[in-house]
Amino acid sequence: MAEQASNKPTKIAIISVYDKTNLRHLAEGLVKNNVRLLASGGTSRMIREAGFPVECVCNNENAGDALCCYTGRVKTLHPAVHAGILARNLESDEKDLAEQHIAKVDYVVCNLYPFKQTVEKIDVTMEEATEEIDIGGVTLLRSAAKNHGRCTVLSDPNDYHDFLQLLDRGSVPEQIRQAYALKAFEHTADYDAAVSDFFRKKYATNTQHIPLRYGINPHQSPAAACTKESRIPFKVLNGAPGYVNLLDALNAWPLVKELKDALGLPSAASFKHVSPTGAAIGIPLDARERKVYMCDDIDGLSSSALAMAYCRARGADRMSSFGDVIALSDNVDLVTAKIISREVSDGIIAPGYEAEALEILSKKKGGKYLVLEIDRSYTPPAMETRTVYGVTLTQGRNDFVIHPKETFTNIRTPKDSPSLPDSALRDLTIATIALKYTQSNSVAYAANGQIVGLGAGQQSRIHCTRLAGDKTDNWWMRFHERALNLKFKKGLKRPEKSNSIDLLCSGLVPKDGDERDDFERNFDEVPMPFSQEEREAWLKELNGIAVSSDAFFPFTDNIFRADRSGAKFIAAPMGSNNDEAVLRTAESLGITFVEQSTRLFHH
């Protein structure tokens, strides 16, 4: 790249492109503006055939063609090429260039070998893929983008037209050079990501890359879990994970970890479709709770706080928990494993397993039950990234810490309210941490150290509040004597029992026909449906419920609905035009309303 003798100041462009779209138009515009063209291989040939003057990029007296063009691999990698690109408008740089007879490069036009397209081919070989890894092009782009204060870099053929218009006017403004440089860096970053992804799939150990059965749906293949960190923070001890399994597990684990950190007790969550169906801490179960949660026949239950936490998490909404992914904050003991072994569940994530517990869990689903062991000490990166419709979104991880003694101190009404009782602080903490990992909009009702009703993913907040309230009512109706003493057919499976109880307690017992027959054949003694008067009388006994919302309540209807399901404490952010009306309504109903300072949307 020796300096060309000329009385006229001549700018230089290096062109090396795989995608030759608009190349002739670009060459014509550059030559028109007295720009000297240096190009590589096929790029040079196409420009020459179009009738425009062009020289080989290796036309440098200090770099023979044998070095620059050897098998086409190193043609643009000579130091003289990059000295011309990287040189700044400094006296020291000018002196070095003059001594080496090297001219500055003003424009670099480059795009890369089609690596992505190559590796997407069926049965592509490693040799074929490796040959499509661009070295010189990436280096040209990075050099020019780094020195964009002086050198203009073009990586997108769609930019040629606007660039030439600017050149016709005299120069490329700094702001435009910056935009082109950003695009070049993004181009090389995307390219490098594609290369590393290909080799990760080929060479990475299962600590960095785990193939999945398929994506969200069976037709969405291939699918994988991978990380840019040194290793994936969990091990697969049994079974094969699916995409949805991991979405559930990796949302459920931080929920129980935060519950344990906040309240100091073993915690459990039952997750379905990226939202909790239940979450709880391990506090003792009374006789009625054991019966309602179908764990009254478990030996040694009272000796395991973890087992009691899972009984609560699973038992609050057994219908939704069917086929769940379980998260447990502590090492799984034998008692907890025995409970899980008889439930319909897809997988579990926990920091460890007793040997006997792992043996039991590994036999579920014919040996296919998913068992994940999470690294308890793992802390995820501060930034989260996801891709939606080809667009990459980034955000800071939601690291807001919820603590019973710190998060719920701003009591808005009643004005003279004393500090909240420990039970309310506990239940508001459980409800609020659960919301942090629940698809928005969401509202959670909690009591006795567990979620008892959760409304998730509703577009309208009142629908969240109603859904959570209806589930809470259903939960409470299961404690009615009639529900506690149902006479089921011998041998009836647990899911059929749960479904029958749900119909009875929801007030949805079929009136007649085949559906009524299906209901009745589950019982030795068919129960009478609850009358409206019986339901209302029993629900009036429901009290002391803690309610949390992931965002403000826009209307008073939410407060009235929560009150009907025994709400005594409500925590929510403020910010609605109706805040004062909401607070007045809460006060008139005898509800303590706590302002929770942070919105907790989750998507």
Is residue 86 within 8 A of residue 149, CB to CB? The reply is no
Q: Roughly what angle, to the nearest 10 degrees, separates helices 557-564 and 579-588?
A: 30
Is residue 21 within 8 A of residue 119, CB to CB? The reply is no
Catalytic site includes residue 273: yes
CA 103 – CA 80 distance, rounded (Å): 9
Q: Identify the DSSP state of 437.
A: T
Using the structure block, give the residue that is written with the tokens 């011998």.
490
- Neighbouring-strand partners of residue 280: 268, 450
Residue 486: φ, ψ to 5°: -70, 145
- Neighbouring-strand partners of residue 79: none
3-state secondary structure of 396: strand
Q: 108 exposed, middle or buried (CB, 10 Å; 0-12, 13-18, 19+)? A: buried
Name the catalytic one among 20, 25, 201, 273: 273
487-488/107-111 β-pairing: unpaired
CA 578 – CA 553 distance, rounded (Å): 8
Q: What is the dihedral of CA 289, 291, 293, 298, to 10 degrees?
A: 110
Amino acid, single-letter form, for residue 574: M
Q: HSE on the CB side for 327, CA within 13 Å? A: 36
Q: Which of 296, 306, 302, 366 is nearest to 332 (CA)?
A: 306
CA 105 – CA 17 distance, rounded (Å): 16
Is residue 542 within 8 A of residue 476, CB to CB? The reply is yes
Length of the chain: 603
Name the catalytic one among 146, 183, 235, 497: 146
Using the structure block, give the residue that is written with the tokens 């793992």.
378
Q: Which of 110, 113, 49 is nearest to 85 (CA)?
A: 110
Report residue 463 as tokens. Answer: 């629908």
Helix, strand, coil tally for the chain in percent (to 5): 40, 20, 40
CA 125 – CA 116 distance, rounded (Å): 13
Catalytic site includes residue 487: no
Using the structure block, give the residue that is written with the tokens 């909401």.
582
CA 407 – CA 429 distance, rounded (Å): 8
Sheet strands (E) in 158-290: 209-212, 223-226, 234-238, 267-272, 275-281
Report residue 4 as tokens. Answer: 């060309």
CA 282 – CA 66 distance, rounded (Å): 74
What is the distance of C-alpha 123 from the center of its chain? Answer: 31
**Angle, vertex CA 143, rays to CA 173 and CA 117, nearest 5:** 100
Active site residues: 146, 273
